[in-house]
Chain A
């Protein structure tokens, strides 16, 4: 502008000069004094705005006129100059706007003017462009943030999808485990049931054993009392045998005396000679009888001895039997106690098995409920997975969009 300033005067002069001739030319075909005016105006019209009416050529009468015309030409030239400058500034502004529109370059807007008419307009443009610059900057920043956020969202969404898939797998596994648990608890219930059955059978057997042991103890007591009776009988028998022994002793004594008597009788008979012969024979017979009796009593004595030994053995056996039955009774008592213990233990086992059975049944019900719940959870998780897939897709799209936006925004150069 400042450079143009020196040219301003001539230009306005030229313009005014050009104007003037137009007016003057149309006025008339000038006479000679007017020729200087005409030439100057023609020159100005031809484009030389510096051209002025030379005062020396117009003469005295035209001096005033030349001076006025030159003033007009000066004004014209300066006006032309101003116009030119304004056009230049407008061109510059247009260029900037074109480049803004074409390339989105906001940085090139640097246009200023001193033109009072153009000034507010350009200032308004400048404000608008400044506002646009701020927008672009903010949008750019926002796009960058959006891009990174979208990336984060995508990452998060992808992770969520992965997690959701893993969760689905875990839930599936859990469901399978719960199924296994259900089967296991059914198995346990079955086992507990069979334990309860076996315990019931054992209980019956132990009860039978208790009864048998009771009978055994009774039998032992019976045997013991029988043994006592046997011992009594043996003692009585022993006494009787002793009595027989004394009787046999008496018989023996009598037989011995008879033997002696018969012998002496035989001797008497023998002394009587022929007359005593028969007597002797009878005496000998008697003696033989007595000897027979003695033999018999000897045999009886042997028998008595044997009986004595046998009764002693029997008494010993009865005593042994008595102690054996006593120990048998004790053993029976111990066995009865043991069976009582077994009964109590089996009863407890049976109760425990029943409780286990009940608990496992409850557990089975609970497990089934858990399985159902897990199925629901699985369903929900599937939906979640699907949703997170969709979210991932959306996030990917969003990322793309953010990238695109960033790309688009990059076209606008704010700085």
Chain B
């Protein structure tokens, strides 16, 4: 099976995304940017931080800021329930927790199916790698440029 898979990889290049849902929106983050997933426990709010920083949480001896993507992209507000997940995203030296209502799973998406983000869209569009259409409009996934997103977030947080 291995040779077949190698051939398939060469013939049709794919990229693996960690897919999840927050609110009504579905996002994908390149899987190499995701370290670990766990349940969102108690968050400690931080003063003098932007509203998209929900607080900090402790994980394996580290204190991580927790980002609310919906607030960051001005698409509403995330709520934390008993089933709410928190995944640890990493890009460069930046490590942050991101709130996800449900984790859809790891998906391998053919590069050819990734469409460019719509031009002239809102501010969220600049943090997108592209868009993948599913079988229906609800199944469409916004693939995030996670590196850029975290950098912007850090800049905004520091700018304050």
Contacts and interface: CB of A to CB of B under 8 A. Distances in A.
B124 to A, nearest CB: 25
Interface string A253-290: 00010001001101100110000010010001001000
Interface string B22-52: 0000000001101111110000000000000
Contact of A267 (B36, B39, B83): B36
A270 B38 CA distance: 17
B60 interface: no
Contacts of B105: 263, 266, 284, 287
B16 interface: yes
Given A267-B35, A270-B31, A280-B106, A256 B5 contact: no
Contacts of B83: 256
A129 to B, nearest CB: 173
Interface string A280-323: 10001001000000000000000000000000000000000000
B16 A260 contact: no
Given A256-B83, A280-B106, A284-B106, A267 B38 contact: no
A267 B103 contact: no
Interface in B1-19: 5, 16, 18
Interface string B57-90: 0000000000000000000000000010100000
Given A263-B105, A280-B106, A284-B106, A270 B37 contact: no
B38 A266 contact: no
A260 B83 CA distance: 11
Contacts of A270: 16, 31-32, 106
Contacts of B38: 260, 264
A260 B37 contact: yes
Interface residues of B, number: 16
B73 to A, nearest CB: 24
Contacts of A267: 18, 31, 34-37, 106
Contacts of A287: 105
A260 B34 CA distance: 14
Most interface-central of B31, B36, B106 (chain A CB within 10 A): B106
Contacts of A256: 39, 83
A260 B85 CA distance: 9
Contacts of A271: 32
Contacts of B39: 256, 260
Nearest to A269: B106
A260 B82 CA distance: 13
Contacts of B37: 260, 263-264, 267
Contacts of B31: 267, 270
A277 B5 contact: yes
Contacts of B85: 260
B26 to A, nearest CB: 16
B49 to A, nearest CB: 27
A263 B103 contact: yes
Most interface-central of A263, A264, A270, A280 (chain B CB within 10 A): A263
Interface string A226-268: 0000000000000000000000000000001000100110110
Contacts of A277: 5
Contacts of B18: 267
Contacts of A263: 37, 103, 105
A83 B34 CA distance: 217
A263 B5 CA distance: 22
A357 B64 CA distance: 112
A264 B16 CA distance: 15
Contacts of B34: 267
A199 B31 CA distance: 99
27 contacts: A256-B39, A256-B83, A260-B37, A260-B39, A260-B85, A263-B37, A263-B103, A263-B105, A264-B36, A264-B38, A266-B105, A266-B106, A267-B18, A267-B31, A267-B34, A267-B35, A267-B36, A267-B37, A267-B106, A270-B16, A270-B31, A270-B106, A277-B5, A280-B106, A284-B105, A284-B106, A287-B105
Interface of A: 256, 260, 263-264, 266-267, 270-271, 277, 280, 284, 287
Interface of B: 5, 16, 18, 31-32, 34-39, 83, 85, 103, 105-106
Given A267-B106, A280-B106, 12 more contacts: A256-B83, A260-B37, A260-B39, A260-B85, A263-B103, A264-B38, A266-B105, A266-B106, A267-B35, A270-B16, A270-B31, A270-B32
* 4 tightest A-B CB contacts, nearest first: A270-B31, A263-B37, A266-B106, A264-B36
